[in-house]
Amino acid sequence: MKTILVDMDGVLANTNQHFIDYEYKRNGNQILWENISGLLEAEAFPNFLEDVNSKGFFRTVPVIENAVKVLKYLNEKYNVLIVSSATEFPNSLTEKAEWLMEHFPFISWKQMIFCGRKDFIIGDIMIDDHPKNLNLFSGQRILFSQPHNANSKVENSVRVSGWDDIMNIL
Amino acid sequence: MKTILVDMDGVLANTNQHFIDYEYKRNGNQILWENISGLLEAEAFPNFLEDVNSKGFFRTVPVIENAVKVLKYLNEKYNVLIVSSATEFPNSLTEKAEWLMEHFPFISWKQMIFCGRKDFIIGDIMIDDHPKNLNLFSGQRILFSQPHNANSKVENSVRVSGWDDIMNIL
């Protein structure tokens, strides 16, 4: 059975939408998706650091469309491991585990990995929105489209625009 | 530079002593180290599950003797990754990251991995007190002595009784 490494932020979790919502609630500043194309999150969202360090941010992030349905399907067919860069923000760790347990109850704690870098985790397929993670991965690379990677090219990768695309590939 | 995977509970953290202290404070029951030889923690400590799920348990565990000194030395010579089975107890995740940052400030968040199983993490050397982790590891195996592994044999491993032994080997 092949092993798939699945990222959280920007792949399972709609972190961009959450930043946009936090910013709007904070000061009525409506950031538009089309205006953040090509920008890193820290560039796109003026209160990025405050948000990621605030209690509850990662616990309340919305789920990306169709992620539950497709991950459930993949979980029957593959060895799914959820691999999230999270240790930079210690508060996020417990919140991310609880979030997965709530929204993806078919994923067990044995399938979760929270780390600082992903190049010491092995697998056959990686689904990630960050080119830096895919570029260090030797297996099949799936780039999940997000505004920040709009202009990125990752060698030997397939770009997908959402979970339905992944269902068609895997 | 070789990569060393270093476990937390029972290797960096004196979790057994912490269970003993919690039990004594709870009801005056003094558990002796010599009486828990060969027992898993869940067998040795009657309130194991309550303790590991209680807020603050992992944040306040004492550091194992000489761990700071020797890990600092290893951190200059090797690529050190701290790899801890932690996702079973979501509360422990944030506490473990904060504990490492307090006691081992020379270890960065990039060097931390919190997971449910360790067989998808690669490295050259593993220091662990759990035979099940070492048995699935293909590199150099170092078994850190703890009461629960007193009767365990791990093929191709070196058994150490503390951090000074590790300093002599690595």
Q: How many CA atoms lie within 13 A of A143 on its CB side?
A: 22
Using one digit for the tens of pLDDT, what is the confidence trace for B100-148? 999 999 999 999 999 999 999 999 999 999 999 999 999 999 999 999 9
Domains of chain B, by residue range, sit at 3-14+59-169
Three-state secondary structure of B93-129: HHHHHHHHHHHCCCCCHHHEEEECCCCCECCCEEEEC
Mean pLDDT of B140-166: 97
Calculate what percentage of chain B has a pLDDT beyond 70.
100
What is the average pLDDT value for chain B, to the nearest integer?
97
User: CB distance B120–A115 less than 8 Å?
Assistant: no
pLDDT band at A112 (very low <50, low <70, confident <90, very high): very high
pLDDT band at A58 (very low <50, low <70, confident <90, very high): very high
Task: Give me the interface pTM, i.e. the ipTM.
Answer: 0.96
Mean pLDDT of A23-44: 95
Return d(Cα A36, Cα A30) in angstroms, integer: 12
Distance from CA of A119 to the nearest CA of B (A): 9
Mean pLDDT of A133-159: 97
Say how many CB pairs under 8 Å bridge A and B: 81
Mean pLDDT of A97-124: 98
pTM: 0.96
Question: Which residue of A87, A110, A111 is in closest CB contact with B112?
Answer: A87
pLDDT band at A36 (very low <50, low <70, confident <90, very high): very high
A119 has catalytic annotation? no
Domain A3-14+59-169 homologous superfamily, CATH: HAD superfamily/HAD-like (3.40.50.1000)
